[in-house]
Amino acid sequence: MSCFSMGTVYLLRLLHLFTGISVLQQTRSWKIVLPSTVTAVEGTCVVVRCQTEPYSRVTWYQYHDIYYPVVYDGVYPSTVEHQFRGRTKLLGEPAEGNCTLRIDDMRPTDNNIKVYVWVNPGTKTNQKFYQQTVTILVERKAPSITILKQIVAGEIFQVKCSIKYSCPFSPPSLHWSIRPALENSTSIAFIEEEQGQWLYTATMEGLGTYKMHNTTIRCSAQFKIFTAESQQITLSVLYKPVTVTLILKEELVTEGGSIIMECAANCNPQAHMYSWLRRQMGHIKKINSTQNNMSFSNITRNTSLSCIAHNAIGVGQSKWLDLDVQYAPVILPEPSCYVAGEILRCICQAEASPNASISWTIDGNNTLPSSFESRYINKKNVVSGEIGGPAKSQTNVSCTAWNSRGRDTKYLSIRNLSKTSHLPMWLSASAFMLLGIGLLFGCAIFICRKHSTNRPQSSLNNVQQEQRYSSLQRSQYEDRQLSPHRLENNPDNDGLSCIYDNDFVENPQRPTRAHECKNNATALQMEGNNQLLAQVQ
């Protein structure tokens, strides 16, 4: 080999050495921190965390055996695959080395894809970025619902609804679905990070009521493209007996018979003891039992029943149930018949349950004459019957009350009120007669006084009167004697003058005129009384 040839080979080797040094100087290895897998929740976004050294540009690819689909490229967005276009963005700052990728609206088709990041694409490097991939898992999450403690009526309850999601920027909204709607309830929510995802929790609380028992509740999470619902829970609320009802097993209750009662209590848990109350004639008897059925014997009218149910929360009592006891009719005392004028009227009342019907029998005839009228008044357990018609020679009237339980008959005595019915009229006439007699007697006394004052007096009387009168009275008497208008003595008036004629004259042989007038008035009064008594008799 010539010297030229040897020199050429040496130069080529030297050039190759320098060229290799230059390539090594331009090649750089990047340290990238990536998770091996991330879990995305369908309908929300996913964040693939990425950290490296400061860089100028990054591109994200989907791992593929044949070609390299672009997931994100901030410089050439048109190169992004159609299924990722508009859904990806870079969250970090190049100067900080943050190369985190965000993919929105995760879909079932995105499940199990692998992505990797390429730092500063276009520069020469021998680093195989595709060997460090992130697997994205997509799953559909449903919210979970939990009752924090047993709900008791009258106490505060809490129900919690939780949903996990993978996008901290747009959490789903939580909603409650309750049938029927709860009153006076509130809901609070909070978010916390948990194992690379976020937990969104809403807690509803309120006052528990017995109306919530056996109602259903669920919650739902509203994502951008769909809604996920939790399972439905049937609420169990503990409460004392709030509605206690008595149920009568028998269709008919008869006096003296037996019945079976059931005590139905609306409570949770079920009642473990029952107190039975029986009220008769104002007295209450109590019986305790563990059974909700009770037998009662020797039932009488006016019987009332009630029951008290006991459970672990409290007690509740039913309303009093007044038993509708059926019994045979009983004709109430003093049915009567009476004749007033020419009318016969009869009245009969009967107590029974069910209400009795009343029928009449007159002198053995069960059919009322067509000339008779009848009427009936029905009240609770009491019926009143009345008939009326011409009074003839009826001697025997009976009243019969009957229903499905039996019958009762009573005979009615007939009273004649014809005479006594006119007594008030005769008493009124007698009163008017006595009033007239009294007026006549008063007039007679007035006339006698008037006549005694005006008639001339005898000398003896004058002397006696002068002794009794004062001088003033005597002058007035003399003036009257001299008056030209003085009335002359009338023999007829002498016969009516009965007062003061002989007040001062003692004559045992003949009665005075005053006594005669008094005797006449007494005689008239006795005659009027005799006439009144004759009319009454």
Q: What is the pLDDT of residues 178-225, one digit of tens each?
A: 877 777 788 888 888 877 789 999 999 999 999 999 999 999 999 888
Least Cα distance to 311 among 392, 231, 242 occurs for 242
Structure tokens at 26: 């331009």
pLDDT at 529 over 80: no
Do 131 and 49 fall within a single domain?
Answer: yes
Do 404 and 438 fall within a single domain?
Answer: no
Do 297 and 334 fall within a single domain?
Answer: no
Residue 29 lies in a domain: no
Contact in structure between 170 and 118 (CB atoms under 8 Å): no
Confidence of residue 382 (pLDDT cuts 50, 70, 90): very high
Do 247 and 221 fall within a single domain?
Answer: no
pLDDT at 9 over 50: no
The mean pLDDT of the chain is 79
Predicted local confidence at residue 221, as pLDDT: 93
Do 527 and 424 fall within a single domain?
Answer: yes
Do 286 and 352 fall within a single domain?
Answer: no
Share of the chain above pLDDT 70, in %: 73
- Specify the pairing of strand 144-147 against strand 156-165: antiparallel
Give the CA radius of gyration of the chain.
63
Confidence of residue 53 (pLDDT cuts 50, 70, 90): very high
C-alpha to C-alpha distance for 173 and 163, rounded to whole angstroms? 10
- Specify the pairing of strand 325-331 against strand 253-254: parallel
Token pair 């029998």 is at which residue? 361
Predicted local confidence at residue 181, as pLDDT: 75
Least Cα distance to 217 among 160, 274, 292 occurs for 160
> Residues near 421 by Cβ (< 8 Å), separated by ≥ 6?
340, 341
Question: Residue 450: left if φ>0, alpha if ψ -120 to 50, beta else—which one?
Answer: alpha
Task: Kindly tell me the burial class for residue 244, based on how many C-beta atoms sit within 10 Å of its own C-beta (0-12, 13-18, 19 or more).
Answer: buried
Count of the separate structural domains present in the chain: 5
Residue 27 lies in a domain: no
- Which helix (H) or strand (E) is 59 found in, with range? strand 58-62
Token pair 């008497």 is at which residue? 477
461 bridge partner residues: none
Q: Is the peptide bond before 54 cis (omega within 30 degrees of 0)?
A: no
Do 82 and 96 fall within a single domain?
Answer: yes
C-alpha to C-alpha distance for 105 and 472, rounded to whole angstroms? 143
Contact in structure between 308 and 277 (CB atoms under 8 Å): yes
25 bridge partner residues: none
Interior angle at CA 465, CA 480 and CA 469, nearest 5: 80
Do 227 and 259 fall within a single domain?
Answer: no
Instruction: Tell which wins on pLDDT, 362 or 126.
Output: 362
Do 117 and 186 fall within a single domain?
Answer: no
Do 424 and 366 fall within a single domain?
Answer: no
Do 134 and 149 fall within a single domain?
Answer: no
Confidence of residue 483 (pLDDT cuts 50, 70, 90): very low
Least Cα distance to 55 among 88, 24, 26, 92 occurs for 92
287 bridge partner residues: 276
Residue 18 lies in a domain: no
**482 three-state secondary structure:** helix
> SS3 letters for 297-347?
CCCCCCEEEEEEEECCCCEEECCCEECCEEEEEEECCCCEEEEECCEEEEE
Instruction: For residue 316, give the CATH number of its domain.
Output: 2.60.40.10
Q: What is the pLDDT of residues 383-395, one digit of tens each?
A: 999 999 998 888 8
Q: What is the pLDDT of residues 164-181, one digit of tens each?
A: 999 888 889 999 998 777
Instruction: Tell which wins on pLDDT, 491 or 112.
Output: 112
Sign of CA dihedral 472, 477, 479, 480: positive
Number of Cβ atoms within 10 Å of the Cβ of 331: 21
Token pair 């008094």 is at which residue? 518
Sign of CA dihedral 17, 20, 22, 25: negative
Residue 28 lies in a domain: no
Picking from 93, 111, 139, the residue at the C-terminal end of a domain is 139
Predicted local confidence at residue 100, as pLDDT: 96
Task: Kindly tell me the burial class for residue 108, based on how many C-beta atoms sit within 10 Å of its own C-beta (0-12, 13-18, 19 or more).
Answer: exposed
Do 86 and 135 fall within a single domain?
Answer: yes
Confidence of residue 371 (pLDDT cuts 50, 70, 90): very high
Structure tokens at 249: 């097993």
Predicted local confidence at residue 81, as pLDDT: 95
Picking from 219, 235, 251, the residue at the C-terminal end of a domain is 235
Share of the chain above pLDDT 90, in %: 56
C-alpha to C-alpha distance for 415 and 476, rounded to whole angstroms? 71
C-alpha to C-alpha distance for 95 and 24, rounded to whole angstroms? 25
Residue 403 lies in a domain: yes
When mean pLDDT is compared across 31-35, 453-457, 525-529, the lowest value belongs to 525-529
C-alpha to C-alpha distance for 85 and 105, rounded to whole angstroms? 12
Predicted local confidence at residue 39, as pLDDT: 93
Predicted local confidence at residue 318, as pLDDT: 97
Instruction: Tell which wins on pLDDT, 78 or 92.
Output: 78
Measured in degrees and rounded to the nearest 5, phi and psi for residue 96 equal: -95, 0
Predicted local confidence at residue 4, as pLDDT: 37
Picking from 323, 348, 372, the residue at the C-terminal end of a domain is 323
Residue 246 lies in a domain: yes
- The DSSP symbol for 224 reads S
Q: What is the pLDDT of residues 444-468, one digit of tens each?
A: 676 656 555 554 444 334 434 433 3
Predicted local confidence at residue 147, as pLDDT: 94
Least Cα distance to 81 among 91, 90, 92, 72 occurs for 72
Contact in structure between 308 and 240 (CB atoms under 8 Å): no
Q: Is the peptide bond before 354 cis (omega within 30 degrees of 0)?
A: yes
> Residues near 4 by Cβ (< 8 Å), separated by ≥ 6?
none
- For residues 252-273, average pLDDT: 95
- Specify the pairing of strand 303-310 against strand 273-280: antiparallel
Predicted local confidence at residue 501, as pLDDT: 37
Q: Taking the model in full, what pTM does it have?
A: 0.59
Number of Cβ atoms within 10 Å of the Cβ of 141: 20
pLDDT at 59 over 70: yes
Torsion of CA 76, 82, 87, 93, to 10 degrees: -20
- For residues 106-133, average pLDDT: 91
Largest CA distance in the chain: 226
Measured in degrees and rounded to the nearest 5, phi and psi for residue 317 equal: -115, 145
Query: Domain range holding 468?
Result: 420-535
Interior angle at CA 45, CA 43 and CA 50, nearest 5: 155
C-alpha to C-alpha distance for 84 and 61, rounded to whole angstroms? 11
Predicted local confidence at residue 407, as pLDDT: 95
Q: What is the pLDDT of residues 272-296, one digit of tens each?
A: 999 999 999 889 999 999 999 999 9
Residue 5 lies in a domain: no
Least Cα distance to 103 among 30, 163, 170, 172 occurs for 170
Residue 314 lies in a domain: yes
